[in-house]
Structure 1
Amino acid sequence: MDKLHFSPETPFGIALYPYFEKVYEAVVGKPASSFSFTPGVTPLSTVNEVVASCITYFVVIFGGRYLMTQFPPFRLQALFQLHNFLLTIVSGILLVLMVEQIFPKIYHHGFLYAVCSNDAWTQPLELLYYLNYLVKYWELIDTVFLVAKKKKLEFLHYYHHSLTMVLCFSQLGGKTAVSWVPITLNLTVHVLMYYYYFRTAAGHKIWWKKYLTTMQITQFIIDLFVIYFCTYTYFAYTYWPHLPNMGSCAGTEASALFGCALLSSYLFLFINFYRLTYQKSKAILKQRAQEAKSSAPVKKSKKI
């Protein structure tokens, strides 16, 4: 086995992408270097396919919820554990492969280059972005489990799951260099989130569920700070050069504006979810404690 050698090109001590290329070629039958996201050629690369997928998703979950009124909830514990375990592993693999690709760019050229330069959109990253996009289809099964278990379907859940898939598609088509920022942060959260669901499905009590939502909110704040900056500097440079700017930024205008709008909505929805879920629970516990205190029998003092 090769000795560990840490450098900007190998931040984990060894070059991981060559191993990924071997696995990719063994599975797909083509070298990883031959991949190119081509609308109409690459699977799930057209607007019609994405729209059809979204419609199918909503038909399945809402139709399934209606059908499940006739049946008791399914447990599906083993399948649910396997689903979450595999998503934990796959998310972790994609995360480290992306970090390996991005870190040298930041180290050698700086953060601005990594989020704005046309050269920062490379063929290996495009392939990893595409695989991450495909994982978003896999993650739709999360909702199918909720339906089968007869759990409540929150608007935030199916809104976030379906439109994150659309977001990944739009950024692939738009070739936005900043894509790695929301993707790597999302993968980091998902490694922890799917690990959490894997453990709790086995009956373990995990104390940090609340902090997952906090991490998601923090993720969107960072996302918005970076993509708002990239969008602003692009539009200022292109249309209002008299305004202070850092030059142009790679990506189409439509993909940039859609990303800003969608991630902004995520931030507000997750903050609202946090407020309703945790602050409400805290208020209920406080009220119960007060009720218990007021209903406790009063000890009579002894007369002397």
Structure 2
Amino acid sequence: MTRASISFKEAFYWDSYEKMSDHRTKGWFLVDSPTDVALIVSTYLLMVWMGPKIMKKRKPFKMKGVLIVYNFIMMLLNFLILKDIFIGSSRLSYRYLCHRSKLEFNPEEDRVMNAMWWFYISKCIEFTDTLFFILRKKNDQLSVLHVYHHSTMFPICWTSMKWYPSGAAVRLPMLNCFVHVVMYFYYGLSAIGPSVKKLLWWKRYLTLLQLIQFVISLSWSTYSLLQGCNHPAWIDVTNILYMCSFLFLFGRFYFSKYLNNVKSKL
């Protein structure tokens, strides 16, 4: 059985997927078993459900200093992940449109996979975004879009780490890290206070940048699927459907928050 093929009958058995997994990341922290991922996501959803109830009769926490430090640390983490993936993949002459991954061990492949692992773990760290909303009683921020985004990115990134932690799979994390560098830079400045926040007129363009990211990601996965780039087809199909859901949710948010406001002023 190749990594890119699986029969209809075998699709119902975990062992079939396990055989297709990338042996290079076997034994890595939070990579082997889906159980750990499911428990973490379940804990996150429990926090979303119980957190506002626990905070209901409590005063919101003032977290200015924590937010500034957290956002700039996350900006730096995403920059370092982007840097390592880019350097490693460039030295390996990756073709980002359709790179045929080789199951090999070498320093640059290790560099790429380590960065991909940190990208995966960063999606778990980003659950802290939601925790801060809860502690500050910003419950209006706990939208369907926010919770869906955070609760699904972690397991989606896990599938990449387990089955395809290098090759053409690096293009999406690179793009996402770039967007998050810009995003956390904005939120870090915003946390400083009103004196800086009033200068951040470009907030709407963060959402627009995310929408562009989803279109590019959707196009890449569609191309990989059509070209048969030695990439598991089910991963491409999953990503196409996932990007379509993001385009719908983020597109609806952008339209309601920015375009509707413009129309109402005309």
Q: TM-score, normalised by structure 2?
A: 0.81
Partner of 1:89: 76
User: What is the distance in 2 between the residues matched to 1:130 and 1:217?
Assistant: 25
> Does the aligned pair in 1 maintain the 2:96–2:171 contact within 8 Å?
no
Partner of residue 172 from structure 1, selected from 161, 166, 169? 161
Q: How does 1:23-34 map to 2 (within 5 A)?
A: none
Partner of 2:28: 42
> Does the aligned pair in 2 maintain the 1:174–1:251 contact within 8 Å?
no
Q: What stretches of structure 1 move > 6 A for 4+ residues in a row?
A: none
User: What is the distance in 2 between the residues matched to 1:69 and 1:111?
Assistant: 48
Post-superposition shift, 1:255?
2.3
Match status 1:280 vs 2:260: yes
- Secondary structure at 1:42 match in 2: coil
Offset from partner CA, 1:2-49 (integer Å, 9 cap, x none): xxxxxxxxxxxxxxxxxxxxxxxxxxxxxxxxx9411xx322111101
Match status 1:255 vs 2:244: no
Post-superposition shift, 1:105?
4.3
- Secondary structure at 2:28 match in 1: coil
Match status 1:185 vs 2:185: no
C-alpha change, 1:110 and 1:170, in structure 2 (3 Å) is: closer
Post-superposition shift, 1:254?
2.8
Residue 162 of structure 1 aligns with an amino acid whose one-letter code is S
- Secondary structure at 1:43 match in 2: coil
Partner of 1:69: 56
User: What is the distance in 1 between the residues matched to 2:103 and 2:160?
Assistant: 14
User: What is the distance in 1 between the residues matched to 2:88 and 2:110?
Assistant: 10
User: What is the distance in 2 between the residues matched to 1:36 and 1:137?
Assistant: 22
RMSD between aligned alpha carbons? 1.9
Greater RCO, CA 8 A, separation 6+: 2
Post-superposition shift, 1:111?
4.3
Match status 1:201 vs 2:191: yes
Offset from partner CA, 1:171-200 (integer Å, 9 cap, x none): 112216322121111100100100111101
Post-superposition shift, 1:126?
1.5
Post-superposition shift, 1:279?
1.4
Q: TM-score, normalised by structure 1?
A: 0.72
> Does the aligned pair in 1 maintain the 2:100–2:231 contact within 8 Å?
no
Instruction: Structure 2: give runs of 5+ residues left out of the alignment.
Output: 1-22
Partner of 1:163: 152
Partner of 1:143: 130
Equivalences, count: 232
User: What is the distance in 2 between the residues matched to 1:85 and 1:227?
Assistant: 31
Post-superposition shift, 1:120?
8.6
User: What is the distance in 1 between the residues matched to 2:36 and 2:96?
Assistant: 34
Partner of 1:56: 43
Partner of 2:88: 101
Partner of 2:4: none
User: What is the distance in 2 between the residues matched to 1:36 and 1:196?
Assistant: 36
> Does the aligned pair in 1 maintain the 2:123–2:153 contact within 8 Å?
yes
